[in-house]
Structure 1
Amino acid sequence: MSAVPATLPEASPWRPALAVFVPLLLVVGWFYRDAALAMAEVWWRSETFAHCLLVPPIVLWLVWRRRAELAALAPRPQPWLLLPMLGIAALWLLAELVAVNAATQFAFVATLVLAVPAVLGWPVARTIFFPLMFSFFAVPFGEFALPWMMEWTADFVVGALQLTGVPVYREGQNFVVPSGTWSVIDECSGIRYLMASFMVGSLFAYLSYRSWWRRAAFMAVSIAVPIVANWLRAYMIVMLAHLSGNKLAVGVDHILYGWVFFGVIILAMFFVGSRWSEPAAEARTPAAGEALASAPPARRVVLAALAVAAVALLPHGVLAMLERAEGAAAAPRLELPPTLGAWSTAGAGVADWTPDYDDASARARAAYAGPSGSVGVLVDYYRGQDETLKVVSTHRLLVGMRDPDLSVPRHEARTLELDGRRLVLRRSEVHGRVSLSGSRQRRLVVWRLYWIDGRFYGGDVEAKIAGAAARLAGHGNEGATLLLHADGDEADAVIEDFLRGQHAALGTLLQRVHDTR
């Protein structure tokens, strides 16, 4: 095996290749700057994804470690990879049309990753395969798992409390023990521990093991350990507070104990994992001149880079044409009428409740009394959607996680036939928090559905698809979210009766708002 110098010889094909590839990365970064800046903003403001700040420097360091092997290879463009890049560009366009932030960011990173084999070739991409895959940790992704992880944590804590003889009453993610009340909120879910552990665990596995099965096994452990550790952390915090009369593990102590416990668990995981570490394989590099002698002409690299830049620019051109066609739209004017068929605002009475968000272009609300009871209607209209203004968003909560009075213990699907179409709506229950005395407020039932381009939709995904199709068809970048709520034992029947009879009137009202632009 011959040694490869750390510096490139004058005749190395890497000099012209890098002179083309580095500007290409800058051009792609400029095209996708909105996605890149949105990622960086989340890294900076979110504790859950603060670890993502380390991804770019780690990727550069990992590539630098393989510089000797890379210097011995010749860049060999693979033009056929433009086809999957076109697919990624189409994905970015569809995601951008309906402001799906995670999808646009994954598409941005995938474009950068695919540019490596497309311009520099498969041998280069294979040599730095892990750093390329590690780049995807830069995308702040995973908050969709919050509800599940919160529920699992609550399940474990309540079960462990019962096994250790502590009486507990649970409602959703809230539970009461003799010493006080507790809630499993987003910070208790363990999502930040999981994300950080998986990233660092993957890096540890790559640097410590050679066999793929060991790497995969340790990466799986780095997922399971923080989940179980968070369950134990939450249980111990509740027990410490309970046994100390709420003198320990509350306030700042609560957070401090959590991070200390997590740090100890991760260090133990790495210590155990290091016992099975494998020595690094000695990198084989071609004999001097073996790979470089057959390097393709530099113009092939230039042409490949230009083609990649054209593919990256294409969806932005399509989006610009759509935005010019949509033009600037006036702020929507939205009002609910005093009567809808047999339903009237006169004499209506429903619980006083407002969701924990107000981000729409226009909002209207009213309470209607009808033959079967009273129902509250809240309509949020969104025009000119972007990263912060959009019809479908996973960040909207019916009740704030730290609300002292209300909680949402249950979400479920509700099927309804409207005009021959089957809608699967989201049904939620809003309850008053249970106190040590056992008292609580009355129950509120909330149904949610969407209106986009003249039709109602129940699910988030179908609403997103409908929004993208509407924009591609030139029907505007807007839509509405409807929340229908009622209280009492017959709440579901009242909401269904109202929706079956008045959905057409609501659709006509929203269509008028849509057409007034």
Structure 2
Amino acid sequence: MNPPVPTPASFAAHPGWRTALPTLIVVLAVILVLFRETALAMASIWARSDTYAHGFIVPPITLWLIWRIRSSLAVLAPKPSYLAVLLFAGAGFAWFLGELAAVNVIPQFALVFMLVLAVPAVLGWKVARRMTFPLLFLFFAVPFGEFATAKLMDWTAYFTILGLRFSGIPVLSEGLRFVIPTGSWSVVEACSGIRYLIASVTVGTLFAYLTYYSLRRRLLFVAAAIIVPIIANWARAYMIVMIGHLSGNTLAVGVDHLVYGWVFFGMVIMAMFWIGARWREDEPAPEPEPAALSVLPDRPASSSWGAALATVLVGSLWVYAQWQMEHNLAPPITQLPSFGQVAGWQSAPQGIDDWQPGFVNPAASMQMSLQSDGRLAGLFLAYYRNQDQQHRLVSSTNVLVTGDDHVWTRVTGGTREISFNQQAIKVRTAVLSAGDGKRLLVWQWYWVNGRWTASDALAKAYTALSRLSGKGDDSAVIILYAPQSQAGGGEAALEELARAAAPVIEKTLQQTAAAR
């Protein structure tokens, strides 16, 4: 009778684990302590946002996935890698830059990268490769994806309106709002489907890993987990409007709106998983590792601790550098210098259509309505200094129209080049609409310590470079707006105001920055 073929579970753990595993646990704990503010910021988002509440279960799932393969890991010899320590230093630098630019997602991704890279730093690349999926799954803990909300809202509105018209219902639409014979509807952030999409991709990726063995099937199912919830959300929005229309707005309104949406989404996702399970692939039984692996000579215990110490020291240096930057702050400001007279323009007796941009927590701001030869226009300026996660120029909460604004909605947007103080700069354009038919043409751009840009990414990069060079993070948003329906059009009024106000705006910004 042949002896039974040994399985990985029958091998004794490599002796190197007795030192390497406790070392890794200590290193991970120290990283979390050093970068605790970033970790706590992630956890606070999980707690307050239903979209990212799954973040609480991602680390336990990662640990469970590693536990599943513990027998195949135990026979591998931990061998620290100083290349991983070097890559860890690069992730730390990305964290540092993200903190300088006050971009939440960069430090959060960098922290997860550091946690992941600590594994090969202490245990080696061979062990880390065996844990590839569990380690990569940890990135789902980062609250990421809100950038897609606006585009998903646009798609939802477009396909809902298309479906209604295809059903023979007349629709009058403007931006994200539309009117049908039985009432008016609007697509808000909750209708974007971003929650469905993120939940589907997270669970779908885990399902694909556990259900399939081939990379092709895994990628196909993940692709389905992206496409299906987007299309399902369009169908959900269409059906809710149709139910409301056919019931005389007695069904699918208020709380029912959300309940019907989650029930429908749950049914779609269950169907997707049920269909996906029909093509299940069982992972083939792993071939036994040669017995020699369990008795490979181990490196001295000091090597694990050496790599661990190098990892911790590198992380500490970036935290110290950030601490130094945070304590080199400019004096706070509470108001802007007196804004000079704009040549050819006078203060308007009343505001323009009672609109205010949704830029929150500036160090100082001002807004004024101006008139010239019968033309009306407005100017808004918000100044930011000593930026942090709650007080920053570029963020998802700083928008022209907030999600809870029941008067104004953004209809269109784009970019154009204008002449500003004898230089050509690019600005973002938008058309805002109120329910009573009023429209505003809006131009928006940023100033970052003397540099002009309309790009969020460049504004963040300029902020980080300015702080690195010791010039601080003084930044501002400049917004010009005018009624589109006035004589000569809103564009002519904005062009004239931009030319006349440019010297005054630049002088105000420079004076404020000089008061450091």
Range into which the TM-score falls when normalised by the shorter chain: over 0.9
Distance 2:202 2:276 in 1: 15
Match of 1:353, as an amino acid?
W
Q: Which residue of 2 aligns with 1:374?
A: 376
Query: Residues 126-163 of structure 1, C-alpha deviation per residue, up to 9 Å, x if partnerless?
Result: 11110011000000100000111111111111111111
**Is the Cα–Cα contact under 8 Å of residues 382 and 390 in structure 1 kept in the other structure?**
yes
Structure 2 residue aligned with 1:415: 417
Aligned equivalents of 1:348, 1:259: Cα separation in 2:
46
Post-superposition CA distance 1:260-292 (Å, at most 9, x none): 001111110010000100112223442445244
Q: Is the 8 A contact 1:333 1:513 kept in 2?
A: no
CA distances 1:274-327 after superposition (whole Å, capped 9, x unpaired): 010011222344244524423222211111111211222222222223233x23
How far did residue 470 of structure 1 move? Answer: 0.9
Structure 2 partner of 1:212: 215
Contact 2:88 2:117 survives alignment (8 Å): yes
Does the 8 A contact of 2:62 with 2:138 survive in 1? yes
3-state SS in 1 of match to 2:190: helix
Aligned residues of 1:194 and 1:223 also touching (Cα < 8 A): yes
- Paired positions, count: 509
Which amino acid counterpart does residue 458 of structure 2 have in structure 1?
A: E
Counterpart selection for 1:484 from 460, 480, 483: 480
Structure 1 counterpart SS, 2:67? helix
- Name which of 392, 396, 399 aligns with 2:398: 396
Q: Which runs of 5+ in 2 are unaligned?
A: none
Q: Which among 49, 57, 61 is matched to residue 60 of structure 2?
A: 57
Q: Shift in Å at residue 183 of structure 1? A: 0.6
- State the match for 1:315 in structure 2: 318
Deviation of residue 216 (structure 1)?
0.6
Aligned to 1:47: 50
Q: Does the Cα contact within 8 Å between 1:336 and 1:366 map onto a contact in 2? A: no
- Aligned pairs for 1:166-185 (under 5 A) are 166-185=169-188
CA contact (8 A) 2:428 2:454 kept: yes
Q: CA RMSD in A?
A: 2.0
Give the one of 425, 428, 432 matched to 2:427: 425
Task: Encode CA deviations 1:62-83: one digit per residue, 9 max, x unaligned.
Answer: 0111111111111111212233
User: Please, which of 71, 80, 86 is the counterpart of residue 83 of structure 1?
Assistant: 86
- Distance in 1 separating the partners of 2:338 and 2:369: 10
Give 1:20's match in structure 2, choosing from 16, 20, 23: 23
Distance across 2 between alignment mates of 1:150 and 1:485: 24
Return closer, same or farther for 1:483/1:104 CA change in 2, 3 Å cut-off.
same
What's the CA shift for 1:331? 2.8
User: 2:164 aligned with 1:161, yes or no?
Assistant: yes
Q: Post-superposition shift, 1:247?
A: 0.9
Secondary structure (helix, strand or coil) at the match of 2:40 reads helix
Mapped partners of 2:60, 2:10: distance in 1: 20
Moved more, 50-59 or 403-412: 403-412
Paired position in structure 1 for 2:251:
248
Cα distance change of structure 1 residues 329 and 281 upon mapping to structure 2, 3 Å threshold: farther
Q: 2:335 aligns with which of 312, 333, 341?
A: 333
For the 8 Å contact 2:443–2:479, the answer to whether it is kept is yes
2:233–2:265 Cα contact (<8 Å) kept: yes
The change in CA–CA distance for 1:284 and 1:126 in structure 2 (over 3 A counts) is farther
Question: What SS does the aligned partner of 1:115 have?
Answer: helix
| 2:174 aligned partner, one-letter code | E
Q: Distance in 1 between matches of 2:76 and 2:277?
A: 32
**How far apart are the structure 2 equivalents of 1:137 and 1:8?**
33
In structure 2, distance between residues paired with 1:317 and 1:6: 46
1:69 — aligned with what?
A: 72
| Residues in 2 aligned to 1:370 and 1:284: alpha-carbon distance in whole angstroms | 82
Give the SS at the match of 2:57.
helix
What amino acid sits opposite 2:26 in the alignment? P
- Cα distance change of structure 1 residues 124 and 493 upon mapping to structure 2, 3 Å threshold: same
Could you report, residue by residue, the CA deviation over 1:231-285 in whole angstroms, capped at 9, with x for unpaired residues? 1010000000000111111111111110000111111001000010011222344
- TM-aligned CA deviation for residue 336 of structure 1: 4.7
Distance 2:290 2:413 in 1: 63
TM-score by length of 2: 0.94
Measured after TM superposition, the shift of residue 346 of structure 1 is 5.7
Q: Give unpaired runs (5+ residues) of structure 1.
A: 434-439
- Secondary structure in structure 2 of the residue aligned to 1:100: coil
Give, as a single letter, the amino acid of the residue that structure 2 aligns with 1:494: A
Matches of 2:495 and 2:359 in 1, distance apart? 25
Please list every run of at least 4 consecutive aligned residues from structure 1 whose deviation after the TM superposition is greater than 3 angstroms: 3-9, 346-349, 417-422
For residues 101-116 of structure 1, what are the structure 2 equivalents within 5 Å? 101-116=104-119
8 A contact 1:49–1:140 mirrored in 2 = yes
User: Contact 2:204 / 2:222 at 8 angstroms: preserved in 1?
Assistant: yes
Question: One-letter code of the match for 2:443?
Answer: W
Aligned to 1:339, the other structure's residue is in SS state: coil
- Farther-moved stretch of structure 1 (201-210 vs 310-319): 310-319
For 2:301 and 2:388, the matched residues in 1 are separated by 41
How many Å separate the matches in 2 of 1:251 and 1:452?
43
User: 2: CA distance between counterparts of 1:331 and 1:418?
Assistant: 26
1:209–1:278 CA contact under 8 A, matched in 2: yes
In 2, distance between residues paired with 1:148 and 1:445?
Answer: 21
**Percent identity over paired residues:** 42
Q: Structure 2 vs 1, CA of residues 292 and 301 (structure 1 numbering), >3 Å: closer, same or farther?
A: farther
Question: Structure 1 counterpart of 2:6, which letter?
Answer: S
What SS does the corresponding residue of 1:237 show, helix, strand or coil?
A: helix
